Amino acid sequence: MKKKKYTIDKKQHLILLLFPFFLLTCNKRVDQAQAIGSAAESAIAVSEPEQVQTTPMERKLIKEGNIAFETNDLSETARQIGQAMKKYQAYIASETENNYSESLSRTIIVRVNAKHFDSFIQEVTKGVNHFETKNIQVKDITEEFVDIQARLTTKKELEQRYRTLLQRANKVTEILEIEKQLADVRAEIESIEGRLRYLANQSAYSTLSITYYKTIPKQIAFGQKFKQGFANGWQNFIWFTVGLINIWPFLLLVSIGIFFTRRWLHKRKMRKRGES
C-alpha cells in the first residue's frame, strides 16, 4: 500500500514563515495595552480629589432661664447680682419693682454670654437655699440655622442670575419684570438675614429672668395698710374739694334757687293764714 505525500504550496509556506512575527507583534501590542492601562489607572488615582475632612458645625443653642427666690436683704442681693453681671459682662434688658402690702419684689431680665450662663446662675444664687421658681430651658436651633443659611445662599445665587439677565435685557417690559423679581428676591434676602442675625444673637447671649423678694411681717403690713388708707382718704378729700371748686357756679345757682323757693313758699303760707 502506497503512502500519500502531503505537499506544501507557496502560500502555506509563506504563512508558516510569518507566523512567528505575528506572535511577536501581538505580544508587543498586549504589553503596550497593559502599559497604557496601568498608566491610565495611575493617572486616575492621582487625579482623584482628596477627601476633605469637614469639622462638625458648632451647635447653636438658645438658653433661657427663670428663677425666683426669697431674700432677707434686697440691697445685698442687688449688690451680689451687680457683681456677677460685672464679672461676666452681662447687661440688664429690663427691670421691674413691685411694692405689695405683704412683700417687696424686684424682677430683672439679664442677657449674659451663653458660655457663662451656668456660672452666672451659680454666682447670682449663691447662698439661696430654696427657690420659689427655677426653670431652665435649652433649645437646639442648629438645624434651623443651617437651613436658613442654605436658603440665603440659594437666594443670593438667584439674585445674581437676575442681575445677569438684567444686563442682557433689551426690552422695557423685560427690564421691568426682572427688576420686580429682583426686588422680591432682595426683600426675601433681607428678611432671611434678619432672622439669621436674631438666631445668632439669641444663641450667643442667654436670657435669665431673676425675681427676688422680701416678705413683710403682718404687723408691719397692717401698719402700712392703715397708713395707705389714711393717705388714700386724704387724697380723695383733696380731689372732692377740687371737684367742688370746679362746679362752684352751679352750686351757687342751686343755692339761690333754693333760697328764693323757700321764701316764696313762706309768703304763700302766710297769705293763706291771713285769708283764713
Task: Write out pLDDT tens, residues 80-135.
Answer: 999 999 999 999 999 999 887 778 999 999 999 999 999 999 999 998 989 999 99
What is the CATH class of 61-140+205-215? alpha beta
pLDDT at 253: 81
CA distances from 255 to 138, 240, 260, 261, 268 (A): 73, 19, 9, 10, 20
Give the per-residue pLDDT at 164: 92
Q: Where are the domains positioned within the chain?
A: 61-140+205-215, 143-202
pLDDT at 263: 77
Q: What percent of the chain has pLDDT over 90?
A: 49
Grid cell for residue 240: 372732692
Look at residue 12 in the predicted model and tell me its pLDDT.
53
User: How many residues are recorded in the chain?
Assistant: 276
Whether residue 1 has pLDDT greater than 90: no
37: confidence class by pLDDT, cuts 50, 70, 90: very low
Classify residue 275 as exposed, middle or buried by CB count within 10 Å of its CB (0-12, 13-18, 19+).
exposed
* pLDDT tens sequence across 149-204: 999 999 999 999 999 998 998 889 989 999 999 999 999 999 999 999 999 999 99
Q: Which residue has the cell 428663677?
A: 67
Average of pLDDT values for 216-220?
A: 64
- Percentage of the chain beyond pLDDT 70 is 73
Q: How far is CA 241 from CA 78, 246, 249, in A?
A: 43, 9, 14
